[in-house]
Amino acid sequence: MGRYDKLKEQVYLCNMEIPRKGLALYTWGNVSAYDPDNGAIAIKPSGVSYDELKPSDIVVLDIDGRIIEGTMNPSSDTATHLVLYRNFPSVRGIVHTHSTYATAWAQTCLPLTIYGTTHADHLAADVPCTEVMADERIQGNYEEETGNQIVDAFKNMSYSDIEMVLVACHGPFTWGVTPEKAVYNAVVLEELARMAFITHTIRPDTPALKKSLCDKHYFRKHGKDAYYGQSSNK
Amino acid sequence: MGRYDKLKEQVYLCNMEIPRKGLALYTWGNVSAYDPDNGAIAIKPSGVSYDELKPSDIVVLDIDGRIIEGTMNPSSDTATHLVLYRNFPSVRGIVHTHSTYATAWAQTCLPLTIYGTTHADHLAADVPCTEVMADERIQGNYEEETGNQIVDAFKNMSYSDIEMVLVACHGPFTWGVTPEKAVYNAVVLEELARMAFITHTIRPDTPALKKSLCDKHYFRKHGKDAYYGQSSNK
Amino acid sequence: MGRYDKLKEQVYLCNMEIPRKGLALYTWGNVSAYDPDNGAIAIKPSGVSYDELKPSDIVVLDIDGRIIEGTMNPSSDTATHLVLYRNFPSVRGIVHTHSTYATAWAQTCLPLTIYGTTHADHLAADVPCTEVMADERIQGNYEEETGNQIVDAFKNMSYSDIEMVLVACHGPFTWGVTPEKAVYNAVVLEELARMAFITHTIRPDTPALKKSLCDKHYFRKHGKDAYYGQSSNK
Amino acid sequence: MGRYDKLKEQVYLCNMEIPRKGLALYTWGNVSAYDPDNGAIAIKPSGVSYDELKPSDIVVLDIDGRIIEGTMNPSSDTATHLVLYRNFPSVRGIVHTHSTYATAWAQTCLPLTIYGTTHADHLAADVPCTEVMADERIQGNYEEETGNQIVDAFKNMSYSDIEMVLVACHGPFTWGVTPEKAVYNAVVLEELARMAFITHTIRPDTPALKKSLCDKHYFRKHGKDAYYGQSSNK
C-alpha cells in the first residue's frame, strides 16, 4: 500500500459526501485534507464528476503546490486551499461547494446573520463575508487571492472558532480539524443559510441573536466547559 | 427482557422517525417518552447520530433526572423535557427538533399565525412563541429555564389543546399523549410553518383564520362531537 | 368479483398516487370516482393512513351519500364530493389535498394568477378562489356548503374548462373526466402554485398572461383544433 | 441496425435525463439532437410520458421538418427546434423544459441577472429573456415564431457563448454542441435561477457581478486560455 493511499481514500470518501448531502451538481465542489506528518495535501482532481471519481484519481501535493502523486490536474481551487492551510495552521480539511443557499447568500455580499441557536451551536457570530475582490487581484493569481481575501476576513476573528466563510459573489468555504469536520461544516452552513433565508423573508428586521444566547449555545458544545455529547470536551 | 426495554424500543423508533421525516440533520433533535407506571422517562443520548443510534443507547431517568438505566449522557435538552412532564401531567411524549421552517419561524420570535384549516385541524389558535429568555435565566440552568419559558407561555392556554410551541430564537417543541403523537405533531408543525411562510410571502397582510372556521375544523377532529376518522371521538 | 371491485381498485390506486406525488402527509387528502352506470361513488375512508390503505377499505356510496358497500366511515369531505358530482355532471373523479403551495395560496384567499404558458396549457384563466364561507354556512352542513361555495365560484365559468379551484382558507379541489385526470390536475395545480409563488416573489407586479397567449396554449391542447399529443383531439 | 438507431438511442437517453434531474413532470419537456452528416434531427414524440418512452418512439425528421422515420407525432415544439438548428449552425442538441425556477423567472419577463461566479462559470452575461410575442405572431406559426423570438434575442450576442434563453411568459430553452451538453445547460440554468431567486429575495438591490469577475470565471473554463478540468481547452 502506497504512502498516501490512506489519505487519498479519506479525501475520496469526503468528496463523495458532497453530492450525497445535496451540496453539489456534476463536478462542482471539492474537498482536500492535509497530513503534515507526510507533508502532503490530497485534493479532488479538476472537473471530474462524482459519478466517475475513484480514490486513485485524488491528487497529492506538497504545501507549495508541487504534485507528489497523481496524473490528473488538481482542483482549479487548489491555490485557495494552500493559502488557507499555510495561514490556518491547525486546519486538516477544507471544503468548497456551490451549495444553493450558502452560494445565494454569498452572492448578496452580506455576512450571514446569526439568527438563532442552531447557528450558535456551531459558531457564536455571523458567518463573515469577504470583500468583493479588487480588479488587480482578479487579474493576478485569482485562486491564491481568493485565499488571501479569506485570510483578510479573519484578521480579527479566530479561524478555529469560526470554521466557515462566504466568499463574496462566489460561495462558501469551510474547514475543520479533520476533513470530515469540514464536510460537516459545509452541511451546517447550507442549513443555516436556508433557515436565515426563511427568517429574513418572514421578518426582514429580525434582530441578530443576543450575545448571551450566542455564548451559551456555543460554549455548551465547545471549549473546556462543554457538556453536549458523550465526551466532556468536544 | 428488562423492565424498560419496551419503553426504550418505543423511544428508539420514535427518534428514528425524526430523520426519516426530514426533520433533522446529524444528531439534531430528540424524542422522549414518559411511563408513569414505572416512574421512567426514556430519552435519546446526547450527540449520537441517528445512523448509529441503537435501542440499548436510550437513557432511562426518573422524573427528577436521575439515571435509572443506561451508560450514556442523556440529551442535553433533558432538563427541558422534565419540566414539561412535571407541568403538563397528561403528556407521555415530547419531541424537540431543529426542523427548517419551524426553526426559521422561531428565529423571528413571532407566533405562527393560524392561516388556514390545515392548521385548525390540529389546533384552533396560533402556535405560541415564548418570550426571549432573560440573561439571568440564561446564566442559570438554561435547559430547565427553557422548560419554564414554555410553561409560562401556556399560562392562559391549554397544553392539551395546543401541543406545540416555538421557543424564541431556538426552535420547536411538540408533545402528545403518546410519543408517536408528539412526533406526528412535529411533522405537522414543520408543514404548517412551511405553508405559513409561503402564504405570508405571497400576501403579507393575509388575515388570520376567523374564529368560526378555527373552531369548526378543530372540533370536527377533537372533542366529544368529533366526526373525523373511524372512531367517534378522537 | 364484486360489482364495485374494479371501481374500488381504481380509486385505491388514485389515492396512492397522492403521497407518491408528494401531495399529502399522513391521512391528508382523498380521491373519489363516480360510476354513473352503477350509480356508485367510491371514496377513501376517513382518517386512514396511505401506508395502511387497502382496496377493500374503499367506501362505496350512492349519489345521495348512502353507503352501498364498505364498513368504514367515508372521508369527512364526502359531502363536498357529492355536491360536485351532482352539479358538474360530466365529472368522474375528484381530488382534495392539502398540497403545500396550493394550500398556502388558498390561505391568501386570492385566485392563482395565470402567469405563464405552463398554466395556460391546462386552463386559460386564473384558478378561481371561493369566497370565505359565511358563519351561518359554517354552522350548517359545513362539508356540503364547501361544495356549494365551489359551485357558486363557477357560476360564470365552465367546470370542464377549469378543472380546479382553491377553497379560501382551506386548500385545493380538482376534478376531471376520470379520477386519473383529477389526480393529474392536483399535481399540475401544486406545480402552478409553486411557480406562481416564485414569480410573484421575484416581481410582485408581474402582469397576468395576455389573452392571446392564454388561448393559444389552451387550444393547442384542448378542443377540436388541438394538435398536441398523439391523438388529434385531447 | 438502422441508420438512425444510434441517434435515436442518444436522444432517448438525453430525454430520460430530464425527469431524472427533476426538470419535468409527466410529459413536459423535450430534447432533440441534430446529425448533419445524416441530415437528421431526432426528437421526443409529443405528449408521451417519460415512464413509457422507448428509443423506438423517437421521431426522425429532416431540417425542414419532414418525417424521415417514426410513426408518432413529433414534439409540438419541433418547429422551434428547427428554427434554432437553422440559425445556430454549430448546435447539435436542444432542450426545452418547464423546470420550476427557470420557468417562474421566464414568467417575470426579465432576464436572469448574473449574480455570481456559479453563473459566470457558464456564461459571462445575464441569461437573456425574449420579448413577449406580438399577437400577430401568436396567430401565425406560433412554434416557429418562438424560435424566431429566440434568434432575435441573440442578434447582438453569441449563441455559442450563451447557450440558454428564457422565452418570456413561457420557459427555458438550452442548447449545446452535443445533446448531453444541452441537458447539462438545462440543469445549470435551473440551479442558476434557484440561486438568483434566493439572492434577489434576501437583497433585492444586489448588484450584478462586475465584469472583471464575469470574465475571469468564464475564461477560466472556456476558450484558449481555459485551465479548468483535465484538458487544456474545454
What percent of chain B has pLDDT above 90?
93
DSSP for A148-160 reads: HHHHHHTTTS-TT
Contact B226, C129 (CB under 8 A): no
Grade residue C228 by pLDDT with cuts at 50, 70 and 90.
Answer: confident
**Record: contact B142-A220, CB cut-off 8 A:** yes
Q: Could you tell me if D96 lies within 8 Å of chain C, comparing CB atoms? A: no
Beta bridge partners of A231: none
pLDDT at D111: 98
Reference A59, options A22, A15, A101, A109; nearest CA is: A15
**Record: contact A191-B25, CB cut-off 8 A:** yes
pLDDT at C151: 98
pLDDT at D48: 94
**pLDDT surpasses 90 at C99:** yes
Contact D24, D14 (CB under 8 A): no
**pLDDT surpasses 60 at A233:** no
Contact A107, D208 (CB under 8 A): no
Compute the CA torsion angle C159, C162, C168, C174 (nearest 10 deg).
80
pLDDT at B170: 98
Residue type for position A118: T
**Record: contact B195-C100, CB cut-off 8 A:** yes
Which residue from D minimizes the CA distance to A198?
Answer: D202
**Record: contact A201-D201, CB cut-off 8 A:** yes
**Record: contact D209-A169, CB cut-off 8 A:** yes
H or E segment and range at residue A229: none
Compute the CA torsion angle D164, D169, D171, D172 (nearest 10 deg).
0
Q: Using one digit for the tens of pLDDT, what is the confidence trace for C122-145?
A: 999 999 999 999 999 999 999 999
**pLDDT surpasses 50 at A208:** yes
What percent of chain C has pLDDT above 70?
99
Considering chain D, what is the average pLDDT of its residues?
A: 96
**Record: contact D197-C195, CB cut-off 8 A:** no
**pLDDT surpasses 80 at B232:** no
Contact B185, B165 (CB under 8 A): no
Q: B94 or D232: which carries more pLDDT confidence?
A: B94
**Beta-carbon-side half-sphere exposure of residue C78 (alpha carbons within 13 Å):** 26
Q: Which of B17, B197, B198 to mutate to test the interface with C (most CBs of C within 10 A)?
A: B198
Q: Could you tell me if C191 lies within 8 Å of chain D, comparing CB atoms? A: yes
Contact D44, D11 (CB under 8 A): yes
pLDDT at A105: 98
Instruction: State how far the alpha carbon of B226 is from the alpha carbons of A151, B116, C47, in Å.
Output: 63, 19, 12
Q: Could you tell me if A73 lies within 8 Å of chain D, comparing CB atoms? A: yes
Cell numbers found for residue C118? 405552463
Report the 10 Å Cβ neighbour count for A166: 28
| Residue in A45, A100, A142 nearest the CB of D195 | A100
Reference A55, options A16, A26, A95, A96; nearest CA is: A16
Please give the positions of C annotated as active site: 121, 228
The set of residues, in sequence order, having a beta carbon less than 8 Å from that of A177 and lying 6+ positions away, is A90, A91, A92, A93, A160
**pLDDT surpasses 70 at A4:** yes
**pLDDT surpasses 60 at D66:** yes
The CA distance from A228 to B3, in Å, is 28
Contacts of A198 in chain D (CB under 8 A): none
**Record: contact B133-A203, CB cut-off 8 A:** no
Alpha helical stretches, state H, chain B? 5-20, 78-87, 100-107, 117-120, 135-139, 142-153, 179-202, 211-221
Q: Which of B21, B213, B216, B217 to mutate to test the interface with C (most CBs of C within 10 A)?
A: B213
Chains within contact range of chain D (3+ C-beta pairs < 8 Å): A, C
Reference C83, options C165, C185, C187, C184; nearest CA is: C165
pLDDT at A234: 39
DSSP for C130-180 reads: PPPPPHHHHHS-HHHHHHHHHHHHTTTS-TTT--EEEETTTEEEEEESSHH
**pLDDT surpasses 70 at D56:** yes
**Record: contact C28-B118, CB cut-off 8 A:** yes
Contact C233, C223 (CB under 8 A): yes
**Record: contact B117-C200, CB cut-off 8 A:** no
Mean pLDDT over A207-226 rounds to: 92
Chains within contact range of chain B (3+ C-beta pairs < 8 Å): A, C
H or E segment and range at residue A187: helix A179-202
Question: B93-96 and B164-167 as β-strands: parallel, antiparallel, unpaired?
Answer: unpaired
pLDDT at D234: 39
Contacts of B194 in chain C (CB under 8 A): 100, 104
Considering chain C, what is the average pLDDT of its residues?
A: 96
The CA distance from B103 to A201, in Å, is 14
The CA distance from C5 to A17, in Å, is 48
Cell numbers found for residue C7? 371501481
| Residue in A191, A196, A229 nearest the CB of B46 | A229
**Record: contact A201-D196, CB cut-off 8 A:** no
Place of cell 427528577: B64
Contact D74, D144 (CB under 8 A): no
Q: Using one digit for the tens of pLDDT, what is the confidence trace for B165-182?
A: 999 999 999 999 999 999
pLDDT at C233: 39
Reference A197, options C204, B190, D198; nearest CA is: D198
Q: What are phi and psi of D12, to 5 degrees?
A: -60, -50
Helix%, strand%, coil% for chain B, nearest 5: 40, 15, 45
**Record: contact A199-B105, CB cut-off 8 A:** yes
| Residue in C105, C106, C138 nearest the CB of B213 | C138
Q: Using one digit for the tens of pLDDT, what is the confidence trace for D170-192?
A: 999 999 999 999 999 999 999 99
**pLDDT surpasses 70 at A227:** yes
Contacts of D197 in chain A (CB under 8 A): 104
Q: Could you tell me if B195 lies within 8 Å of chain A, comparing CB atoms? A: no
Farthest CA pair distance, chain A: 57
The CA distance from D108 to C200, in Å, is 8
Q: Which of C108, C133, C197 to mutate to test the interface with B (most CBs of B within 10 A)?
A: C108
Q: Could you tell me if D53 lies within 8 Å of chain C, comparing CB atoms? A: no
| Residue in B116, B198, B227 nearest the CB of C101 | B198
Q: Could you tell me if A71 lies within 8 Å of chain D, comparing CB atoms? A: no
Contacts of D169 in chain C (CB under 8 A): 115-117, 209-210, 213
The CA distance from D85 to D102, in Å, is 22
Contacts of A47 in chain D (CB under 8 A): 228-230, 234
Cell numbers found for residue C20? 407518491
Secondary structure of chain D as H, E, C letters: CCCCHHHHHHHHHHHHHHHHCCCCCCCCCEEEEEECCCCEEEECECCCCCCCCCHHHCEEECCCCCEEECCCCECCCHHHHHHHHHHCCCCCEEEECCCHHHHHHHHCCCCECCCCHHHHCCCCCCECECCCCCHHHHHCCHHHHHHHHHHHHCCCCCCCCCCEEEECCCEEEEEECCHHHHHHHHHHHHHHHHHHHHHHHHCCCCCCCCHHHHHHHHHHHCCCCCCCCCCCCC
Q: Could you tell me if D234 lies within 8 Å of chain A, comparing CB atoms? A: yes
The CA distance from B29 to B50, in Å, is 10
Q: Using one digit for the tens of pLDDT, what is the confidence trace for C152-171?
A: 999 999 999 999 999 999 99
The CA distance from B202 to C140, in Å, is 31
**pLDDT surpasses 90 at A46:** yes
**pLDDT surpasses 70 at D35:** yes
Contact D180, D14 (CB under 8 A): yes
Contacts of C72 in chain B (CB under 8 A): 230
Contacts of C133 in chain B (CB under 8 A): 213
Contact D75, D30 (CB under 8 A): yes
What percent of chain D has pLDDT above 90?
93
The CA distance from C71 to C49, in Å, is 16
pLDDT at C1: 79
Cell numbers found for residue A212? 448571551
Q: Using one digit for the tens of pLDDT, what is the confidence trace for C196-206?
A: 999 999 999 99
Helix, strand or coil for residue C62?
coil
Q: Using one digit for the tens of pLDDT, what is the confidence trace for B177-218?
A: 999 999 999 999 999 999 999 999 999 999 999 999 999 999
Compute the CA torsion angle B225, B231, C2, C8 (nearest 10 deg).
80
Contact B118, C167 (CB under 8 A): no
The CA distance from D38 to D98, in Å, is 30
Contacts of B24 in chain A (CB under 8 A): none
**pLDDT surpasses 90 at C223:** no
**pLDDT surpasses 90 at D228:** no
Q: Could you tell me if C117 lies within 8 Å of chain B, comparing CB atoms? A: no
Question: D93-96 and D171-176 as β-strands: parallel, antiparallel, unpaired?
Answer: antiparallel
Q: A233 or C28: which carries more pLDDT confidence?
A: C28
**pLDDT surpasses 90 at A1:** no
CA distance A195 to chain B (A): 5
Q: Using one digit for the tens of pLDDT, what is the confidence trace for C37-84?
A: 999 999 999 999 999 999 999 999 999 999 999 999 999 999 999 999
**pLDDT surpasses 70 at C30:** yes
Contacts of B209 in chain C (CB under 8 A): 169
**pLDDT surpasses 50 at A144:** yes
Q: Could you tell me if A76 lies within 8 Å of chain D, comparing CB atoms? A: yes
- ipTM given for this complex: 0.96
Q: Could you tell me if D218 lies within 8 Å of chain A, comparing CB atoms? A: no
Mean pLDDT over B42-60 rounds to: 96
pLDDT at C48: 94
The CA distance from C205 to C30, in Å, is 35
**pLDDT surpasses 50 at D55:** yes
Q: Count residue pairs from A and B with Cβ separation < 8 A.
A: 86
The set of residues, in sequence order, having a beta carbon less than 8 Å from that of A10 and lying 6+ positions away, is A33, A42, A179
The CA distance from D137 to C10, in Å, is 44
Q: Count residue pairs from A and D with Cβ separation < 8 A.
A: 86
pLDDT at C157: 96
Q: Using one digit for the tens of pLDDT, what is the confidence trace for A147-193?
A: 999 999 999 999 999 999 999 999 999 999 999 999 999 999 999 99
Compute the CA torsion angle A39, A44, A46, A51 (nearest 10 deg).
160
pLDDT at A23: 96
Reference A153, options A84, A86, A209, A220; nearest CA is: A84
Mean pLDDT over D87-100 rounds to: 98
The CA distance from A143 to A118, in Å, is 31
**pLDDT surpasses 90 at B44:** yes
The set of residues, in sequence order, having a beta carbon less than 8 Å from that of D10 and lying 6+ positions away, is D33, D42, D179
Q: Using one digit for the tens of pLDDT, what is the confidence trace for C183-193?
A: 999 999 999 99
